[in-house]
Amino acid sequence: MITTLILYLTILCISTSASTIPQRPLVPQASPTWTPDPLPLVIWHGLGDNYKAEGLRSVGDLAQEINPGTFTYFVRLDPDPSSDRTATFFGNLTLQIAQVCADLAAHPILSTAPAINAIGFSQGGQFLRAYVERCNEPPVANLITFGSQHNGISQFQNCATTDWVCQGAQGLLKGNTWSQFVQNKLVPAQYFRDPEDLEAYLENSNFLADVNNERVFKNETYKQNLIMLEKFVMYLFSEDTTVVPKESSWFSEVNATTGKETKLKDRPIYQEDWLGLKTLDEHNKLEFKLTEGGHMQLSDELLKQVFKQYFTPQTKGN
């Protein structure tokens, strides 16, 4: 009896003491990424593309040219390129990202690296950000996104006349965006966000409302993981008409009726630091980049510049 009482009081004392310890603010810690060799590079392609696409492979070749020895991994949701392309339109993003988390964690090269670098093209950018937030094993050092829809889209893109996969997805999307079936099956619907209908979005969004920490409950792990990035660089295409609004690439919100843009720093997601973007910015780790041209009009020169500036190996002496 006495032993039990002593044990209870000890536990109570420890619990009370722990609860009075002030919470320290989150501060990004330096990642142990110094190495004479380039970190592995992970690339996630966009809507309608596949992991074996020639253009995507040429990006890997450029990475190797600038930083010899770079191992490049192209995210795939299916080993068959055609099925991998279909998965950019159809699938549950929660399950898809969980699959990528498992694939990267089990990869013999990626899983043993001190960290990885990551590039996300179009929707692949917000998916890689979700990877960082939700698992981040192996951890991402530098995340670069091109024309990504970080604050969602308010309009679905048009399909080519003969693109039946895209046409089929569009047919389901129209008028059914917030249905449970569409939110579990149609990829673009899961990052659809209409600023004039936020109630429906917050209630039904299967993906974006969660990874942007917009609901009442804030997932602190998302913030803790994101602030561990050494750099988060977001490229916006100046003449982008595919992503509506294009300013979503910088987390801006645009009123579809008035066209008024509310920049990231003027939004609660930044001011209240729901994701850690303010923390990254205060430590010079968040960058907004503008590049000329339409959606995904990337030059080799720009990519080479990115590889040199953000992916050049770091050493202890640097």
238 is catalytic: no
- For residue range 26-42, list pLDDT tens digits in order: 555 545 555 679 999 99
Q: CA 57 from chain center: how many Å?
A: 21
Question: Looking at 49, 84, 122, 205, which residue is catalytic?
Answer: 122
Strand 253-254 vs strand 261-262: parallel, antiparallel, or unpaired?
antiparallel
Catalytic site residue from 205, 240, 248, 249: 240
What is the overall mean pLDDT for the chain?
A: 89
CA quadruple 213, 207, 52, 132: dihedral sign: positive
Q: Is 240 known to be catalytic?
A: yes
Q: Bridge-partner residues for 289, per DSSP?
A: 235
The pLDDT tens digits for 39-98 are 999 999 999 999 999 999 999 999 999 999 999 999 999 999 999 999 999 999 999 999
Q: Which of 45, 150, 273, 295 is catalytic?
A: 295
Q: Name the pTM for this structure.
A: 0.87
> Is 295 one of the annotated active-site residues of the chain?
yes
pLDDT at 36: 76
List, in order, residues 6 or more apart from 6 with CB less than 8 Å away. Answer: none
C-beta of residue 116 within 8 angstroms of C-beta of residue 138: yes
Express each pLDDT in 95-143 by its tens digit: 999 999 999 999 999 999 999 999 999 999 999 999 999 999 999 999 9
